[in-house]
Amino acid sequence: MKAGIFLDTDNLTRNGGLKIRFEAVKQLVQSQGAEVLRANAYLAVDKDLESRDPASRLKRQEFRDALRQAGYHLVLKPLRRFVTGDGQLVATANCILELAVDAVLQSAPLDYVLIGSGDGDVIRLIRALQERGKRVDVLTFGNASSHLLRAADNAFSGFLVPGLLPFEDGSPVSGRRFRGQMIAVDEETGVDRLAVRTGFGPNDVRRDVEIHLPNFTRGGSPVDKDQFAELRERGTVLEFDLADLGSGRAKAVNARECRREDKTIFLPPIEDEA
């Protein structure tokens, strides 16, 4: 199976993937049984800012160099500024059009396409590629609608894909630390359950990891049952260590909220990602 990767890089980094490991994106695709033929990354370039701020230029150039070293072809779009009718200064550099055109033109030899974006405008692109017989998956972080997730053949949340993001406490990406989404409560035991992605495959998700109230803190403080239930209802993402309980059972311990820019991360129901 031949594959292509098309990443709306600014959308991914802006919505939670700032520290994304781009080599892990390629591993995700390869784990679908695919050989990566194309890997494109689309991002804006603020030439005005970079000309005035050498430190910013160096930082952004290092980011672009890291993408190239990870094997991505960069498609750069200059950031443009204009004044609206009411006098507001607006900056824009939406790369979706370039991504969509390239994905269609370069899709002929491909069997599988991974689109990295939470922008609802890619729904039509997904359908166009599917009509050409391609399998189309999406990789998103925050701010992705359920309509976008359902349009794809498979939807991967970047927060849950193993090894895609570093952990907030500095834990290694490989080890006993995991991320999972709160999904349900066992009415008989009163124990909450997490959906945890254990691998890169579409079906590599277990939904039976237990999370007990005493094993969870919020900002270093315990929470009550009502607060815990509210987090579950909103689909909170947690970071935790995985403890083996025997007989195929596992429990999340040392659990904490997964946060971005000091905001708790909530995801749509896990079923929307299948």
The DSSP code sequence of 164-221 is SS--TT---SSSSEEEEEEEEE-TTT--EEEEEE-SSSTT-EEEEEEE-GGGB-BTTB
Query: In CATH, what number is assigned to the domain containing residue 183?
Result: 2.40.50.140
166 located within any domain: no
Collect all residues with Cβ–Cβ distance below 8 Å to 105 and sequence separation of at least 6: none
Q: Where are the beta strands (DSSP E) in 9-124?
A: 35-45, 73-78, 80-83, 89-92, 112-116
* pLDDT confidence of residue 133: 97
- Does residue 149 share a domain with residue 246? no
- DSSP states along 22-34: HHHHHHHHHTTT-
Instruction: Provide the pLDDT confidence category of residue 184 given band limits of 50, 70 and 90.
Output: confident
The tens digit of pLDDT for each residue in 157-175 reads: 999 998 899 887 666 665 6
Global confidence as pTM: 0.85
| Statement to judge: residues 132 and 181 lie in one domain | no
Q: Is 191 inside any structural domain? A: yes
165 in any annotated domain: no
Highest average pLDDT, of 89-98, 185-194, 229-238, 254-263, comes from 229-238
The pLDDT of residue 52 is 87
What are the helix (H) ranges across 75-172? Answer: 96-105, 123-131, 146-151
Percent with pLDDT over 90 in the chain: 40
Q: How far is CA 69 from CA 39, 73, 236, in A?
A: 12, 10, 34
Rounded Cα–Cα distance for residues 134 and 108 (Å): 9
Query: What pLDDT is stored for residue 99 in this prediction?
Result: 96
Same structural domain for residues 130 and 203? no
**Same-domain status, 29 and 74:** yes
Answer yes or no: do 103 and 141 share one domain: yes
56, part of any domain:
yes
Residue 17 confidence (pLDDT): 87
* Residue-level pLDDT at 152: 96
pLDDT digits (tens, 9 = 90+) for 112-135: 999 999 999 999 999 999 999 999
Residue 64: CATH number of its domain: 3.40.50.1010
Question: Does residue 141 sit in the same domain as residue 20?
Answer: yes
Residues 115 and 226 in one domain: no
Q: Both 144 and 14 in a single domain? A: yes
- pLDDT tens-digit map of 147-156: 999 999 999 9
Residue 185 and residue 110 share a domain: no
Would you say residue 41 has pLDDT above 80? yes
Give the residue from 98, 123, 157 where a domain finishes.
157
Q: Are residues 65 and 197 in the same domain?
A: no
Q: What does the pLDDT read at residue 22?
A: 95
pLDDT above 60 for 182:
yes
* Residue 77 and residue 23 in one domain: yes
Residue 163, domain member (yes or no): no
Mean pLDDT of the residues in the chain = 85
pLDDT tens across 54-102, in order?
898 899 999 999 999 999 999 998 877 655 556 564 455 578 999 999 9
Indicate whether 85 belongs to any domain: yes
Domain, as residue range, for 222: 177-273
Is residue 140 domain-resident?
yes
Please indicate, yes or no, whether residues 12 and 130 belong to a single structural domain of this protein. yes
What is the structure's pLDDT at 274?
38
Whether 254 is covered by a domain: the verdict is yes
Structural domain count of the chain: 2
